[in-house]
Amino acid sequence: MQSIVKKLSAGAVMGGALLFTGGMGLASAQPPIIAQDGLVNLNIGDVTVLEDVNVAVVAQVVAQVCDVDVTAAVLGAVDQTGDENTVCTIDGLGPITVTQNGPGNAENAPGAANRPAR
């Protein structure tokens, strides 16, 4: 009887350990790349001029630089979807673009080599 109890106890401990380590693997899963935190980056040509800036502030800067009527709601779509938005192009400088901030849009981020150059 005692050996059956030992085997059952050992099995329960091993099973619990496997469940625990399996759960740890799920807990360390990579978060989604899209941050959706209300912050975006502003690029002029291939240079990031403003990084991790509030969408409303970027909308004001873009409105002044591009001389267009743009709202935070329009640029907020960049934060929600992660899609780049080219607002205008300035001769000699290049396109004025708004991109999602976050680790997924860093130059050395995984997959960055597969994305088109800004």
Residues 75, 26: contact at Cβ < 8 Å?
no
Q: How sure is the predictor about 29, in pLDDT bands with cuts at 50, 70 and 90?
A: low
pLDDT mean over 5-15: 56
pLDDT bin (cut points 50, 70, 90) of residue 116 is: low
pTM of the model: 0.59
C-beta separation of 77 from 86 below 8 A: no
Question: What stretch of H or E contains 57?
Answer: helix 55-66
Number of residues in the chain: 118
118, 99 contact by CB (below 8 A): yes
| Residue 89 confidence (pLDDT) above 60 | yes
Confidence of residue 45 (pLDDT cuts 50, 70, 90): very high
